[in-house]
Amino acid sequence: MAIPLPLTSFSPISTSSSSISRTSFVPLTPRHRNLFSNQNASRRVFITCSSSLSSNNGSTPEPPMNGSGLNGQSSFPGMPSFDGASNPPLKWRRVLLKVSGEALAGDEQQNIDPKVTMSIAREVAAVTRLGIEVAIVVGGGNIFRGSTWAGCSGLDRSSADYIGMMATVMNAIFLQATMESIGIPTRVQTAFRMSEVAEPYIRRRAIRHLEKGRVVIFAAGTGNPFFTTDTAAALRCAEINAEVVLKATNVDGVFDDDPKRNPNARLHESLTYQEVTSKDLSVMDMTAITLCQENNIPVVVFNLSEPGNIAKAIKGERVGTLIGGTWNSIVAAT
């Protein structure tokens, strides 16, 4: 009877940039039994099998591409590579980017501005090449804001909030399509089930997507009425063990007064959680700020419309206002 011999092989798939490790079982024939005499019994045999026999010309198979690639090289075609020697150290390896619905509207002539979504996609692509894992929470205020519509025509707050959650799913699908159009692998996960258009939110699956170099977009908020997408951002950040919440808005950061009404309003470079709550600064709702404070999650508030700000914020460069930390202690040298 033939004895199955486990042989470990690594076979690159010609139609994809990823590699799959598998175990093959080959029956022993009388011709092969001489290989396993007493003096050879302790040896291991490794056979490399390639599905592309002529394309590699016997060269070493390509390494798996999981977002950062080998030695920090790019996993996306047409994008430059980075090596550990020339690339500065990065403080944040996993970040959560909060994009408000109003920011997606751009000049507000339409619900979603394709130029804004493309700008977000390109800057996220630039940082994923560095091996940074990016998750995104999107708002829905550009389409429907539940708190505004509650009470209209008998619409109660819970129903209005559910409509707003579905608006965030629309934004998420649009943003996903934009990112994948430039080669960024992206997954949308929703807080309530919409299996025809997105995955349900599963914490372990979301983390696995991030580890594989995919961008994960969280939609439908927390899945519960009376909670904002800012709270959803703080919650998802804590759940997936992200290191910072990056809140992209239409202003340069947190000011001591409304900069639209007061041109002399001063921009805060850093604030504590207590200052935000005691001064009632309209940065995030109090539930979100409290959740960040309890989990020691810093928050960076910055202007989405400024080119390059997303990449700077994700890489930890000084931009906007930092809440719950100090620039010198958490920002990597650039």
Please state, in angstroms and rounded to a whole number, the distance separating the CA atoms of residues 122 and 114: 12
pLDDT (tens digit per residue) in 230-248: 999 999 999 999 999 999 9
pLDDT (tens digit per residue) in 46-83: 333 344 433 444 444 443 444 444 334 444 443 434 44
pLDDT value of residue 2? 55
pLDDT value of residue 88? 57
Helix ranges, the chain (H): 101-104, 114-128, 146-149, 157-181, 203-211, 229-239, 273-278, 286-294, 309-315, 327-330
* Token duo for residue 84: 């550990």
pLDDT value of residue 249? 86
Please state, in angstroms and rounded to a whole number, the distance separating the CA atoms of residues 15 and 34: 38
Work out the number of other CB atoms within 10 angstroms of the CB of residue 3: 11
Please state, in angstroms and rounded to a whole number, the distance separating the CA atoms of residues 215 and 199: 13
**Dihedral sign, CA of 303, 307, 310, 315?**
negative
pLDDT (tens digit per residue) in 152-161: 777 899 999 9
Write out residues in the chain with pLDDT < 50, as ranges.
Answer: 7-26, 28, 30-86, 329-334
Q: What is the CA radius of gyration of the chain?
A: 25
Is the pTM here over 0.95, yes or no?
no
pLDDT value of residue 148? 74
